[in-house]
Structure 1
Amino acid sequence: MATDASPSPRRRWLRRGVGGLAALLVLVLIGVLAVIVGNSYALREEGVTITTAAGPLRGVLALPRDVNGPVGLVVFVHGDGPVEATSEGFYRPIWEALAAAGYASLSMSKPGVVGSQGNWLEQSLHDRAVEAETLIDWALDRPEIDPRRIGLWGASQGGWVLPEVAVDRPEVSFVIAVSPAVNWLDQGRYNLLAELDAAGAGEAERLAAIAESDAVRALLNRNATHEEYLEASTDDEPMDRDRWGFVLRNHTADATAALGELGRSDIPVLLVLGEDDRNVDVDDTQRAYARLLGDRLTTARFPGAAHTLARSGVEQSALWGVLVGTFAPRHVFVPGYLDAQRDFLVGLP
């Protein structure tokens, strides 16, 4: 009797299921390998704890993987927000670029973040400068660090900290400033107007936002309490007590005097700016740095770069940011950004 040699529907379904599962496993394996390769760096990371005025801070000392003997050191000074030591991993491509020039990187989680004690919102910018100097003191006792090659890297809000530390500590031999502002209030107004422009705000919305900003400035100028601020605010998401206190302590920040003093030293400065920055008026920053630092300044500007020097498209798309950040984190940043920092260090005397 003849028999049907074709597989039963159940067997066909099983074969398709097994084949589909195998294909899925291959894709998962490829994805895992891509993440591993994309997130592997030529670094040796050591967890460290350093006692500061805010309490013990936890962080990372990232050393060049294949360098023996003392190396230079870059002390990281974060921008605004609850930044942890690696900045969610986005510092590692920068550390790798600095390591290629023979430099280690030291970065601590802010007070109150990932095991660091204290509350970063209770700090003044001067407190942050003192903290950075404590990190320098710690580094001077480390045998793997060359004390003649210690410098600072700072982003955004860190720009108000860098010049104070640089002029106060003779050990500082260079500065890398990424997207810094000069005056706190000027930066805030620029950011407000840039965001309104990006959102296509109408004239009435712009005038209301400016009026709200002016009202907050008036409260800051008279040292108003948080309760007074809340009573006067029309913001849908007003600042909480800690944030109000932080802004109240720091809103008069202006780096002009310290930058002028830095310009009278022999410390080389690399200024890195993104031309799509909505947070900071990069033209104003570049003019001020050029005027105050003179020939000690090297400037690198990047088209298509946002405030973080990420590609603008990556920063503005949550999905694209996650995908690139996960599989190819070096490509989060605009081309040339990492190279500019490495080359600056290589060219130091």
Structure 2
Amino acid sequence: IRSEAMVELGVVLALSEGRSSEAIDVLELAEALNERVGAPFIHRAHQRQALAEALLAQGKAGQAKAIAESLLAEATEDSVSIPATLMILGRVADSQHEYAQALGYADQVIERIESDLGPEHPLLASPLTNRGLALQHLDRTDDARRAFERSVALRREQAAGGGVGARRRLAEVLINFGNLESSAGDGERAADHYREALTLLPKHDEANRSLLLFNLGVDHQIAGRQEEALANYREALRLAEARYPPSHPRVVGSRLGVGSMLVSLERVPEAREPLERALADWPQELRGSVDEAELCFALAQALRILDGDGERVRALAGDAREIYEGAGLVDEVMRIDSWSKAP
């Protein structure tokens, strides 16, 4: 009983942001207890699946994959542990950008559930979401949309009679669906999904709410609705700061959004502080990214207006240009060149 309780605690910790190390400690203790009492395979499988999830959350995809593959090797063909293990392998493949592999694992799970439980079973929602994510990465937008539509329909049924957890799961699919529509250029449809997701999330869910508001800000920015974008970025920043350290991508990204919109709105004196702070806190994982290029160029524009042309302005613009050129973004390179030559 103690080992089963520890596994359930480990599952909760593994799914909680920033607590994967605690999950691993608890689940390794549970594994030792399972061995002592000779726990049945289904209990040992549950523990190892949770451990794989916790390792994956820590970025240890290789270890997670090894555990999942060993589970598959031990499982009998009719084992109920197989779909969950295939889902883990799919997430590992996704984390390693092996999207065709991730799609294959999702399809195996879908086929098993449809064969055993029917095409409308609620358990299909998760693998359908994973299928949609893989298809999106493979640029199969229409197929991804169909997968998300099926997943949303199933999640809606669960949310209608469920509690906070069911509504959050629906919101998570809607966020993914919104991201797909945004990347496909349909900002209005994306915004509809994001707004609905916001109504489903509890007020204390700063992580998902800040992500949604940031995404809404991006769509407003692309559509030229700068005031709306600024408002969304500011609220996203407020929520992200309450949840994450200053160098977290969610914090610096929202701060960049605030600063860049202030520059676009010609409220340049207000833009200096958020842009300078975003640059000071910029995390190593985002070095050399297109987001860093946007930050450098926005700050260069602000500083030239406030302080005049100078060495730092030219250096920031040069850094932005180099990143854009490396990413093959010719239009952005030309925009910087034109700005640099302007009086």
TM-score, normalized by length of structure 1? 0.25
* Structure (1 or 2) with the larger CA radius of gyration: 1
User: Which has the bigger relative contact order, CA under 8 A and spacing at least 6?
Assistant: 1
More strand by share: 1
Q: TM-score, normalised on structure 2?
A: 0.25
